[in-house]
Amino acid sequence: MLKIPPREGPRPATTPCAPHTQISQNPDAATVRAFRERAFDFPFVIRQPSMISVPGAEALCLEHGRGCGCREAFMVGREFAHVHPPQDGSLHMMLPEDAVPKIIDLGWAEPHPMAAAGMIPPTAVMVYAPRNAAEIETVLGLLGLSYDFASGRLGRVDNVVL
């Protein structure tokens, strides 16, 4: 069962439009490395340049035939999340629609500006960069939720404790 604690402190500053980036509270190089060492370890995930994000962003894409989730579980093709370049450290990911407001209320995410404008599904969010080891665990848990959503393992997320 996934248990997400509230994020401590104020939200970081982000850009209000595309490219949607985090511009404050960015992690140090060691935290970025520690997160990236584990972020792509999900079964059947291919690590590749993002097809939709800024140069240097790395995508998590499901192998062909493994993406069983609904259309709203993917950004483009089989890309369900991407990690922004190290100087930013945030992620965009697709999350189950009923989980999005809870995760935002807990302070871990914000809607993608294009989702807020109704141009892409409301399942698209920015998850803020982890700032320390404990936050790495929480963000990996959210990334796991996105992975399960894309893999078709979730219906509603009523069993997720948020």
Which CATH number do you get for residue 87? 3.90.1150
pLDDT digits (tens, 9 = 90+) for 38-85: 999 999 999 999 999 999 999 999 998 877 778 999 999 999 999 999
Contacting residues for 113 by C-beta, under 8 A, at least 6 apart:
16, 17, 18, 20
Count structural domains, the chain: 1
Position 69 scores a pLDDT of: 77
pLDDT of residue 156: 47
Q: Does residue 68 belong to any structural domain of this protein? A: yes
For the chain, residues with pLDDT lower than 70 are: 1, 155-162
What whole-number distance in Å separates Cα of residue 67 and Cα of residue 29? 32
Residue 113's nearest CA partner among 103, 126, 104 is 126
Residue 70 maps to a domain = yes
Q: Which domain holds residue 90?
A: 36-150
Tokens of 123: 């399942």
The answer to whether 31 and 20 are in contact (CB under 8 A) is no
Tell me whether residue 2 is in a domain.
no
- Please state the pTM of the whole predicted model: 0.93
